[in-house]
Amino acid sequence: MEWILLGTGAADWQKPRENGEYRGYTSALLDSHILLDCTEHSLRKMQELGIEWAQVTDLFFTHSHDDHCDVEAVQAIAEARQKVHGSPLRIYGEGSWIQTLFAPEESCWQVSRLSAYEEVSCGDYRLLPLAANHRTERETEIALSYLVRRGGHAVLYALDGAWMLNKTWQVLRKTTIDAWIVDCTIGDGHEGDYRIFEHNSLPMVRAMANTLMAKTPYGPPVLKQGAPIILNHLAKTLHPCQEELEQRLQPPFVVARDGMRFRIG
């Protein structure tokens, strides 16, 4: 698996910091053809990295918030793919909302409705949607994380969301993962912040990490030894700059940055 983090910022990144540092909205590209979430920032970063939009075959959404789902950006990718390859973009999202934004009869895309805890195949990959602790304005929507597996390797992509739900833990405790890409919207020193009920703080991530790296009565650690914990969806107003945050943290914690690449397996 080759991952590219196209964007690593939360919704408050409307413009750069005074020092020029900037994060686009969170999205990731897997093996140059599987996209997780899509906004205008995703398109710009792909262009910057020399990645053709038409290469994207499959697009998985975590949820419907505007900083994760931009219909016009998706349309641009779908039309590029149709023009170059003559085939539709395959779009996946939680079943309560995905077809309200992406009409299934459009010729440039093919829409599939997902249900939490029901695995789907995507070429050599298997993606298991997991319910996330995050809400949208759509009362029936279930935000999703994804357990992404290929061969003997697995990555947990968990954006957005707060403290791991029990049912999701019950699934994860039976497996092992090679990397955890995790919502860390809130940094240290923000005790009492109301956003902890739908986003993680750094202390929350540390607490969960301690258990994921520990042997439990259920079996061996969920996180393999040495597995990176990649802190993502970082709020501009709730974290220091990249350099300062990197200086404060030690492995296995890794501070995500736009354009970051890493390989698993």
Q: What is the pLDDT of residue 84?
A: 97
169 part of a folded domain:
yes
Domain count, the chain: 1
- Model pLDDT, residue 97: 98
Structure-token pair, residue 66? 């505007």
In a domain, 265, yes or no: no
Cis peptide before 228 (omega within 30 of 0): no
Total Cβ atoms within 10 A of residue 176: 18
In angstroms, the CA 212 to CA 223 distance is 5
Q: Residue 101: which domain range? A: 2-13+20-258
CATH number of the domain bearing residue 230: 3.60.15.10
Contacts of 91 (CB under 8 A, 6+ apart): 58, 59, 61, 74, 78, 98, 102, 109, 110, 111, 112
What pLDDT was estimated at residue 126?
98
147, 175 Cβ separation under 8 angstroms:
yes
Residue 239 token pair: 């974290």
Would you list the DSSP string of 185-242?
-B-TT-TT-GGGGTS-BHHHHHHHHHHHTS-BTTBS-SBPTT--EEEESB-TTTS--H
pLDDT for 125: 98
Q: What is the C-alpha separation between 150 and 141, in angstroms, rounded?
A: 28
Q: How many CA atoms lie within 13 A of 110 on its CB side?
A: 9
Residue 220 lies in a domain: yes
162 beta partners: none
Residue 209 lies in a domain: yes
Q: What is the pLDDT of residue 104?
A: 86
> Over the Cα atoms of the chain, what is R_g?
18
Residue pair 172/156 in contact by the 8 Å Cβ criterion: yes
87 found inside a domain? yes
- The pLDDT assigned to 106 comes to 81
| Per-residue model confidence (pLDDT) at position 120 | 98
Query: What tokens were used for 70?
Result: 């931009």
Whole-number pLDDT of residue 243: 96
pLDDT tens, N- to C-terminus, the chain (265 residues): 999 999 999 999 999 999 999 999 999 999 999 999 999 999 999 999 999 999 999 999 999 999 999 999 999 999 999 999 999 999 999 999 999 999 988 889 999 999 999 999 999 999 999 999 999 999 999 999 999 999 999 999 999 999 999 999 999 999 999 999 999 999 999 999 999 999 999 999 999 999 999 999 989 999 999 999 999 999 999 999 999 999 999 999 999 999 999 999 8
The runs of H, that is alpha helices, within 109-198 are 166-172
Model pLDDT, residue 254: 98
Dump pLDDT digits (tens) for 68-124. 999 999 999 999 999 999 999 999 999 999 999 999 888 899 999 999 999 999 999
Across the chain, which distance is largest between two alpha carbons, in Å?
54
Buried b / exposed e across 148-175, counting CB within 10 Å, b at 16+?
bbbeeebbbbbbbbbbbbeebbeebbee
Write the DSSP assignment of 75-112 as a string of letters: HHHHHHHHHHHS-PEEEEEETTTHHHHS-TT-TTEEEE
The answer to whether position 264 is within a domain reads no
